[in-house]
Amino acid sequence: MIPELGHFALILALVLSLVQAVVPLVGAQRNSMALMAVGRPAAQGQFFFIVFSYVCLTWAFIQSDFSVQLAASNSHSATPIMYKITGVWGNHEGSLLLWAMSLSLWTVAVTVFSRHLPDAFLARVLGVLGMVSAGFISFTLVTSNPFERLLPAVAEGRDLNPLLQDPGMIIHPPLLYMGYVGFSVAFAFAIAALMSGRLDAAWARWSRPWTTIAWVFLTAGIAVGSGWAYYELGWGGWWFWDPVENASFMPWLLGTALIHSLAVTEKRGAFRSWTVLLAIGAFSLSLLGTFLVRSGVITSVHAFATDPKRGLYILALLVIVIGASLLLYAMRASKLTGGGSFAFVSRETALLGNNVLLTVASASVLLGTLYPLFLDALNLGKISVGPPYFEAVFVPLMTPVVVLMMFGPFLRWKDDDLVAAVRKVAPAFVASVLIGFGSAWAVDHVTWRTVLGLTLAAWVVLASVQLLAGRFKERAGASVGARLRSITAAWWGMWLAHLGVGVFIIGVTMVGSLDQHLDVKMKEGQHAELAGYTFVFRGAVDADGPNYDAARGIIELRRGERLLDTLTPEKRVYRAQGMPMTEASLDIGVFRDVYVSLGEQLADGAWIVSLYYKPFISWIWLGCVLMGLGGVFAAADRRYRRLAAREAAAAGQRVAASA
């Protein structure tokens, strides 16, 4: 009964999404307040029914109702409750419902936080979001009904894929989806602005916080996914350039470009058609990612079980959503010239340059990801494009991005003097090159990649310090507190995020250059040495869990005589699927992780143990945290709230005047 209620609620949500898609748009066209006003309650009602539907599905999982096909294939009565709940999104149908739910959540957020927007504009935004929502809910209902019954019910479920039974599963998908789907708001704002022909600084200012928050979610989602892969896969890799990872990375790159482009459009009124195109592009790449994961056109470790019918449906959805928006763009973009003037040497140019580079990087990832498909479609053979290609292409493209990233903030808007600017940044740059070479030499790993990485990282850090010092000097004489207060949250956001890139580069470079690995056969009492650490094997014990059997190795991590940690890697076999899994054990430190995973037991009783030393690896995620934090600061800038309040007041006056 409850699954049927969930199904019914989803149908109601579809009806409301259609109402939301059509009525406000008609209202905006006819300038009818009554029709426009329908958008808000329709969006909120839709949210209610989707959440209700989602709860019903979760209920089936929690109750182990194996008469529901989805629960039978993705849950088990012995699965821990946490993974029963998260198992809902560990499959195609349930994750699609999560997609729809996060879209609905974003829409509701727009209805709540955008009271200051002009009615017609808000109506159009809601209409566009309603259309996307209708597309996805109907996709769920038509091709991927999560409430499908299995009659007769099976006695026991097949359990959630053991790889997914991990705390990472609890937060990674929701964060990632909030990010992916969050770009729909920037998209809807852009389309609404194109419809109304009002693409001005105000539009950019309205979109900015939404875009930034979506970007923060996406950054966090990708970072958590990468961290999860790092400890879960048992050998310490953290990025694989898998097509599905690329599918999340492409919108991230374009979203990063969009954030910067919006800044210019807001402040200087320039790049408007370009910004609109980026807003459409970022969301389009999110949709494309959805297509890639769910259609089966590419092979990936993350892909869901596929069905060509689903692929066709999403492709149709893609054609309608992206095709229509690009057509609208083609019709309206020619009107978007003008904006503030700026000279060749100016912050605008630096930002536009970075925009081009990020877009090229994103396009290159797309090219690499889809190239095998292109060749296959043209019957020119099958190839694989993997990490060696992406690394070869990506490093040269990202190097100028980092240089421009730290050069741009030293340039003035509008017009600057190149010589003066170069003079400003040169000392730090020269120092960075020296530090890069020096530290590569100090760690005895002078390769071009290490030198380049450390130079760039040093450049980011030094330039950040210089930037902050310069900002501080602006108000000479004022108290420290006053000086700090004079710096806006948006500026801190920029500063932190850029610094995060530097920290990230340090992590990537150090672990890429200096990590160490050793596989040993260990018997009780034996020890091994790696990177100055001693690993003492204290035997293996049984450590069965609720739905798996496991052996747990006890390994003391020592430095000299000092006991640092006791590591407990596990080798598990999940009973329902008979699938073996390694659970690595980590000693996490600021400057290095020590990572141990347990292999199989040999005939003579010894265990194969893999030992890894990963210097600075946590800096990769620390960098991501700083970037995300930067986004939070940027989005929280008082300016938006103050301007929103003023616009709301103005809107109130308009209403009062028209009444």
Partner 1 sequence: MPADAPLARLRRAALTVAAAACCVLGAAASAATAPADPALAPTVAVNPALEADTMELAHKLRCLVCQNQSIAESNAPLALDLRDQVREQLAAGKSKDEVVDYLVERYGDFVLYEPPFKAVTVLLWLGPAALLFGGAAWLAFRLRRRREEVAAEQHLSDADRARARALLDGAAGAEQPESPESRS
Partner 2 sequence: MKAKFLVPLLLFFGLVGFLAFGLTLDPREVPSPLIDKPAPQFSLARLDQPAQSFSLKEMQGQVWMLNVWASWCVACRQEHPLLVQMAKQKIVPVVGLNYKEVRGDGAINARGMALEAETAMAIERARRWLTDHGDPYVLSVLDIDGRVGIDFGVYGVPETFLIDQNGRIRYKHIGPITPEALKDVLIPKIEELRRAS
> Residues in the site for partner 2, rule: CB under 8 A?
273, 277, 280-281, 284, 291, 295-299, 308, 311-312, 315, 318-319, 322-323, 326-327, 329-331, 333-334, 370, 372-374, 376-377, 381-382, 603
555 vs 318: CA distance, rounded Å = 52
- Judge whether 253 and 362 are in contact, CB under 8 Å: yes
Decide if 298 contacts 308 (C-beta within 8 A): no
Query: According to the binding rule CB under 8 A, does residue 604 interact with partner 1?
Result: no
Instruction: For the CB of residue 313, give the shortest distance to partner 2 in the complex, in Å.
Output: 11
Nearer to partner 1, 182 or 234 (CB): 234
**Under the criterion CB under 8 A, does residue 232 sit at the interface with partner 1?**
no
Which residue number, 241 or 612, has a Cβ lying nearer to partner 2? 241
598, β-bridge pairs: 609
Choosing among partner 2, partner 1, none, which partner's interface includes residue 531 (Cβ < 5 to 8 Å by kind)?
A: partner 1
**Angle ∠(494,211,128) on CA atoms, nearest 5:** 170
Which parts of 368-387 interact with partner 1 (CB under 8 A)?
368, 371, 375, 380-387
Number of chain positions touching partner 1 (CB under 8 A) = 88
Measured CA to CA, the distance from residue 288 to residue 282 in angstroms comes to 10
How far is CA 555 from each of CA 522, 602, 617, rounded to the nearest angstrom?
10, 17, 21
ω before 388 within 30° of 0 (cis)?
Answer: no
Distance CA 53, CA 93 (A): 13
Alpha helices for 536-635 (secondary structure H): 618-635
Nearer to partner 2, 44 or 577 (CB): 577
Q: Name residues contacting partner 1, limited to 191-230 (CB under 8 A).
A: 201
224: left (phi over 0), alpha (psi -120 to 50) or beta: alpha
**Among partner 1, partner 2, none, what binds residue 654 when CB lies within 5 to 8 Å by partner kind?**
none
Tell me the angle at which helices 92-113 and 2-30 cross, rounded to the nearest 10 degrees: 40
Strands (E), 276-399: none
Binding partner of 525, given partner 2, partner 1, none, CB within 5-8 angstroms per partner class: partner 1
267 lies in the site for partner 1, by CB under 8 A = yes
Do the beta carbons of residue 184 and residue 135 sit within 8 Å?
A: no
Q: Is 522 in the site for partner 1 (CB under 8 A)?
A: yes
Q: Which does 213 bind (CB under 5 to 8 A by kind): partner 1, partner 2, none?
A: none
329 or 548: whose CB is closer to partner 2?
329
Which of partner 1, partner 2, none interacts with 153 (beta carbon under 5 to 8 A by kind)?
none
Applying CB under 8 A, the span of 33-41, 54-62, 160-168, 601-609 interacting with partner 1 comes to: 601-609
Q: Is position 512 an interface residue for partner 1 (rule: CB under 8 A)?
A: no
Q: Which helix (DSSP H) or strand (DSSP E) does residue 574 occupy?
A: strand 570-574
Answer whether 156's CB lies under 8 Å from 77's CB: yes
Q: Which is nearer to partner 1, 152 or 381 (CB)?
A: 381
Instruction: CB nearer to partner 2: give 299 or 486.
Output: 299
CB of 255 to partner 2, least distance (A): 17
518 scored as a contact of partner 1 (CB under 8 A): yes
Nearer residue to partner 2 within complex by CB, 312 or 478: 312
Options 160, 401, 609, 626; binder of partner 1; rule CB under 8 A: 609
Instruction: Please list the residues that pair with 609 across neighbouring strands.
Output: 520, 598
Cβ-contact 531, 514 below 8 angstroms: no
Q: How far is CA 466 from CA 401, 435, 625, 631, in A?
A: 19, 16, 22, 21
Q: Which of 489, 468, 490, 491 is nearest to 480 (CA)?
A: 468
Residue 370 interacts with which of partner 2, partner 1, none, CB < 5 to 8 Å by class: partner 2
Instruction: Say whether residue 268 binds partner 1 (CB under 8 A).
Output: yes
Q: Does residue 392 interact with partner 1 by CB under 8 A?
A: yes
Contact 584, 595 (CB under 8 A): yes
Cβ proximity of 28 and 127 under 8 Å: yes
Distance CA 129, CA 123 (A): 10
Select from 157, 615, 623, 630 the one that contacts partner 1 (CB under 8 A).
615
User: Does residue 459 contact residue 493 with C-beta atoms inside 8 Å?
Assistant: no
Which residue lies nearer to partner 1 by CB, 328 or 514? Answer: 514
Residue span 475-504 as binding mask against partner 1, x where in contact by CB under 8 A, dash where not: -----------x-x-xx-------------
Task: Give the x-and-dash track for 434-453 against partner 1 (CB under 8 A).
Answer: -x--xx--xxxx--------
Which partner from the list partner 1, partner 2, none does 311 bind, CB cut-off 5 to 8 Å by kind? partner 2
Nearest Cα to Cα of residue 99 among 290, 251, 282: 290
State the residue for tokens 């040269």: 396
543 binds, among partner 1, partner 2, none (CB under 5 to 8 A by kind): none
Shortest CB 277 distance to partner 2, Å: 6
Euclidean distance between CA atoms 100 and 85, whole angstroms = 17
377 binds, among partner 1, partner 2, none (CB under 5 to 8 A by kind): partner 2
Cα torsion angle, 406, 409, 410, 411, sign: positive
String of contacts with partner 1 for each residue 526-555, x by CB under 8 A: xxxxxxx----x------------------
Q: How far is the CB of 254 from partner 2 (least distance, A)?
A: 13
Q: Do 632 and 500 form a contact (C-beta atoms < 8 A)?
A: no
Q: One-letter amino acid identity for 221?
A: G
Which residues within the stretch 300-359 sit at the binding site for partner 1 (CB under 8 A)?
A: 300-301, 303, 337-338, 340-344, 349, 352-353, 356-357, 359
Residue 360 binds partner 1 (CB under 8 A) = yes
